[in-house]
Amino acid sequence: MTVDSRTKGLVYERKAVRWLRDHDHPDARRYLQGDGRQPGDLDALPGVCIDVKARQKLAIPEWLAQVKKEAGPDRLPLLWIWRPGLADPGDWWAVARWEDLHDTIGDCLT
């Protein structure tokens, strides 16, 4: 990952954190980069591993595999994806595998 890619990632992660804080998640924060064992990019929602992606070219299968590995067995792996033209993080895409989502909210579906 180049320095420009990292800088861009930080900008979009900060936008996502700001959005969460403005929407009833005042303790939302970015995980600091370090040993690579952080569960995703953001610490915001209990039981959810959030990875923020801000790239022109989508690589959803690869990203889902990455966030699933980071999430471990006890968290919902979730991608929060910026798309061109969508300035408001509330309009960005949230992507999860159906099986992971169902395992998390399955009781609500019955």
pLDDT tens, 8-42?
778 999 999 999 999 999 999 998 775 566 788 99
- Burial class of residue 41 (count of CB atoms within 10 Å of its CB; 0-12, 13-18, 19+): buried
pLDDT tens, 59-79?
999 999 999 999 998 899 999
Instruction: Tell me how far CA of residue 33 lies from CA of 13, 22, 26, 78, in angstroms.
Output: 12, 24, 21, 18
The pTM assigned to this predicted structure is 0.86
Residue 61: predicted pLDDT? 97
**Average pLDDT rounded to a whole number, residues 92-110:** 84
Quote the CA–CA distance of 49 and 38 in Å, as a whole number.
9
Domains and CATH numbers, the chain: 3-109 (3.40.1350.10)
The mean predicted confidence, pLDDT, of the chain is 88
* pLDDT band at 83; cut points 50, 70, 90: very high
